[in-house]
Amino acid sequence: MTTEASRGAEAPPELVQLLTPEGERVEHPDYDIDLTPEDIRSLYRDLVLVRRIDLEAVALQRQGELGIWASLLGQEAAQIGSGRALTDVDMAFPTYREHGVAWCRDVDPVKLLGLFRGVNHGGWDPKEHNFHLYTIVIGSQTLHAVGYAMGIQRDDASAATIAYFGDGATSQGDVNESFIWASVFNAPIVFFCQNNQWAISEPLEKQSRIPLYRRASGFGFPGIRVDGNDVFACLAVTRKALEAARTGQGPTLIEAFTYRMGAHTTTDDPTRYRVASELEAWKLKDPIERVKAYLFKNEQADQAFFDAVDGEAAQLGADLRRRCLAMPDPEPLAIFDHVYSESHALMDQERAQFAAYLEGFAK
């Protein structure tokens, strides 16, 4: 049996899609959604603004103002669709690429830049936004999310938890253990996997021989593949999965089938390992263009609207750039802050020694 034959042994992957790349609305029996023209314009605005944040951050990195940046280019619909499905009391656990979800959780984007500029470790209050800090170590946050879900389960809260991760992370023990736990404890959690096809330079076939969403059945909960470049479908599918979690129906794995149009991070050069035609093919499925096409065709927005959003994006970018460059370096003695909840002799001594050492430079 060849690998291809074994891969094809099961039914071909199904893809929930509500808006085609050409901007045509399609119906789905299980995942339909009612969106007003105002809702759709608002989704469009979010997509454009987070792409602008991302573009600005990449430029800042290229100019030496950020140490590194992980671009979300191409994944805007997966992030805005799922992020907009969350209610205020739901809790999100992101990777380091969830700039669009951060936007939906009202995290000031300059705080994301602060992290990548190295002047803070994130700096937002996870409890204020119900949005945890970016997790850099691949997959760890899925376990935190399950524990958090088990906690709110004990509060009988009408809330759910969402854990973000990528296709590469599905090979981590953490992620598989989190699936087991979520299943066994029927935890109120949605696993949102953005399958952007590439784990740095490794294509999906290095991670899995079956479509990722099908793994869920082995763990005992439903798995769904959604068009990750379709913001309507991502919103509808995530909303339904969150509602299932809130109402005691346990976890769902959502595989958002999308594409990382940029590099893994700014230290990476994807032209070394993937062909240009692949990117060109995915450009035709761009998450923003299809919403724009839909709004145009259905006369739900005019050129003035699109111009206004573009203007707002330009202003946001300029504002971010200004505030990024104005961020001060942290105080040296802050290295001793918050290591422990209370000080102790070793910390006091080292703090005093460093203070005296620094004082020496002042003289």
Give the residue numbers marked as catalytic.
260, 264, 273
Distances (CA, A) of 129 to 16, 187, 299: 29, 21, 35
Within 8 A by CB and 6+ apart from 174, the residues are 138, 139, 140, 142, 143
Contact positions toward another protein, by CB under 8 A? 120-123, 125-127, 133, 135, 137, 140, 142-152, 154-155, 173-174, 177-178, 180-181, 184, 337-341, 344-346
Task: Give the chain as a 3 state SS string.
Answer: CCHHHHHCCCCCCCCECCECCCCCECCCCCCCCCCCHHHHHHHHHHHHHHHHHHHHHHHHHHCCCCCCCCCCCCCHHHHHHHHHHCCCCCEEECCCCCHHHHHHCCCCHHHHHHHHHCCCCCCCCHHHHCECCCCCCCCHHHHHHHHHHHHHHHCCCCCCEEEEEECHHHHCHHHHHHHHHHHHCCCCEEEEEEECCEECCEEHHHCCCCCHHHHHHHHCCCEEEEECCCHHHHHHHHHHHHHHHHCCCCCEEEEEECCCCCCCCCCCCHHHCCCHHHHHHHHCCCHHHHHHHHHHHCCCCCHHHHHHHHHHHHHHHHHHHHHHHCCCCCCHHHHHCCCCCCCCHHHHHHHHHHHHHHHHHHC
Minimum distance between the CB of residue 335 and another protein, rounded to whole angstroms?
9
Minimum distance between the CB of residue 185 and another protein, rounded to whole angstroms?
8
Nearer to another protein, 177 or 243 (CB): 177
Nearer to another protein, 18 or 152 (CB): 152
What interhelical angle do 37-62 and 109-117 show, nearest 10? 20
Nearer to another protein, 95 or 178 (CB): 178
Nearer to another protein, 150 or 327 (CB): 150
Within 8 A by CB and 6+ apart from 158, the residues are 89, 246
Nearer to another protein, 73 or 152 (CB): 152
Contact 248, 217 (CB under 8 A): no
Nearer to another protein, 155 or 329 (CB): 155
Nearer to another protein, 17 or 142 (CB): 142
Minimum distance between the CB of residue 208 and another protein, rounded to whole angstroms?
20
